[in-house]
Amino acid sequence: MTLLIPFLPLYVRELGVISDADVLRWSGIAFGATFLTAALAAPLWGALGDRFGRKPMLIRASLGMAVTMSLIGFAQTVWQLVALRLLVGLLGGYSSAATILVAAQAPKERTAWALGVLSSGMLAGAVAGPLLGGILPGAIGIRATFMLTGALIFCAFLATALLLHGDVKQGPRPLTRSASGQSSPSPAHSVVVLLITASMLMFATMAIEPIVAAYVTQINGPDRAIAWSGLVLALGATGSILSAPIVGRMADRVGHRRVVVGCLGTAAVCVLLQGHVANAAQLAATQLALGVCLGGLMPSVTASIRHITPPDRLGRTLGLGVSAQYVGLVLGPVTGGFVAAQTGFRSVFLVTALVLVLAAALNLAEARSRLPRANGRAVALGPRLRRSAR
């Protein structure tokens, strides 16, 4: 998905778009088209996964992406490019399907750790994609790069079809018990809070990334600004890659919601510090710390959703989670760019920190609202109820 970032504007120009403004406009449309259809299709594919199994969804996604990515290399007009990018989002979604499968089949006591390992792999691919995208077009050409990408995804299709075991059948999810001993279903508002958290998390991430290069130029001067910008973003991704399994394992032990609240609060502090750095080196250090905080957040959020969602609705619910993330992916850069243009770069970090604090407050309030109460006072929780409140 990230492979085409370095050369997409070049391909748009190759397809006949001439002016620089039109190249930028069509590049943005083509890149964002995939996220639009993916956000709309994710709940549908998740629901179909609940009905027909998770593995068929992975096979469908990998084959669909292999075909459409290869066809992009044959596009003759920019409209065809946009249409094929829309198809990539509609037919693809391998990473979201993999997340649903891992969340559904991992042991509950190790869900966040397993999702953290998966997240590290996806982040590593997201980092490697632009690096390869900067090398391959010069070596084999842009069109051949798309075809090679399709061939690699087809290898993933074969591996999924031949090596991945089928879905593990799960029995009906037992109802939780209230303090009075009566059974009670998991509250829907808990899922809503987690979906909002996922959207706010992606908003916070994407509000900052597009302005990094310009911010580095402002605080460090134009000398080596591009190199410093790349280093800052790479360190953030590296921190997330390293921390995701570790934070996930910790969340499985101490409670997912506690880790979500703690990481959101710590991330807000890191973002505030970024708005007051004096040079690029300090920005890089705070970005590394921010990456460590963010690395385990989505696995912990997803694990929390898994713990309070019946198995027969898990795919649909996590599909909504994917859609919520895409909403944040779209709104984050737009808001960050607007705020930076109106009030300056440092205001972007303040707004982002406030979003993270609000997300932490929502999760803290929701977790406290689920505690059983008697006579207006919280009842002491036993180990089982503590785990259910995660």
Each residue's pLDDT tens digit, 345-361 = 889 999 999 999 999 99
Q: What percent of the chain has pLDDT over 90?
A: 39
Helices within 209-344 (DSSP H only):
212-220, 225-254, 256-274, 280-295, 297-308, 314-343
Mean pLDDT of 35-54: 88
pLDDT over 50 (residue 177): no
Q: Which SS3 state, helix, strand or coil, does residue 377 take?
A: strand
pTM: 0.78
> Would you state the pLDDT for residue 57?
92
Best-predicted range by mean pLDDT (35-39, 151-155, 313-317): 151-155
Tell me the C-alpha distance between 59 and 68, whole Å.
14
List pLDDT tens digits, range 260-290.
999 999 999 999 999 999 999 999 999 999 9
Of 341, 362, 340, 364, which Cα lies nearest the Cα of 351? 340
Mean pLDDT of 254-263: 92
C-alpha neighbours within 13 Å on the C-beta side of residue 58? 23
Of 189, 197, 193, 202, which Cα lies nearest the Cα of 325? 202
Mean pLDDT of 88-109: 86
Structural domains in the chain, CATH included, are 8-163 (1.20.1250.20), 185-388 (1.20.1250.20)
Mean pLDDT of 237-244: 91
Tell me the C-alpha distance between 56 and 167, whole Å.
9
Tell me the C-alpha distance between 240 and 230, whole Å.
16
Mean of the per-residue pLDDT values for the chain? 84
User: Running DSSP on this structure, what letter comes out for residue 184?
Assistant: E
Of 347, 344, 366, 343, which Cα lies nearest the Cα of 355? 347
List pLDDT tens digits, range 104-158.
888 888 889 999 998 888 888 877 887 788 788 888 998 999 999 999 999 999 9
Q: For strands 373-374 and 183-184, give the pairing.
A: unpaired
Mean pLDDT of 54-60: 91
Mean pLDDT of 87-100: 87
pLDDT over 60 (residue 377): no
Mean pLDDT of 202-219: 85
Lowest mean pLDDT across 108-112, 193-197, 376-380: 376-380
Of 361, 206, 337, 356, which Cα lies nearest the Cα of 270? 356
pLDDT band at 375 (very low <50, low <70, confident <90, very high): very low
